[in-house]
Amino acid sequence: MKAFVLIGAPGAGKSTLARKLAKECDAVIICGDQIRQELYGRMEIQGNWTEIHDRIVEQLEENINRNVILDGTHYSSSYRVGALLTLKTYGWNDITACVVHPPLERCLVQNSLRSRVTPRNVITSMWNKLQKSLSKLPHEGFSEIVHY
């Protein structure tokens, strides 16, 4: 049973990678955007993190003994460590960090082509924070780190 934690700014290509990995590994995608859509009617509504996290846990519980993909930005070390701890609590120990970190300009261009556009300043801020936090990644406890 394997888990993948996607890491990258909006527009980086995480969801595209998630769909590819799901097919290759027969994995279930658990996506924060989809959960926000389900709970609040729109993906861009950030909502209540406790409610979102509870729904992530429910989906993990529903998919124990399956490969899973956590599709989200996970741009800070604390978010990644939290995801790792949650996955390990439910029995996933083989956890791959999937880093999708293209140049900022590519994220901005790809974002502009999506139906749901994230503000440039949000992408720039997340991209910069991710850039700073990547040095911590090797020490966070992932089984493997793969850069795409």
CATH number at residue 142: 3.40.50.300
Segments of the chain scoring below 70 in pLDDT: 42-45
Domain that holds residue 51: 2-147
How many domains is the chain partitioned into structurally?
1
pLDDT at position 79: 95
Helix and strand totals (H; E) in the chain? 6, 5
Alpha-carbon gap, residue 100 to 11, rounded angstroms: 10
The pLDDT tens digits of the residues spanning 87-103 come to 999 999 999 999 999 99
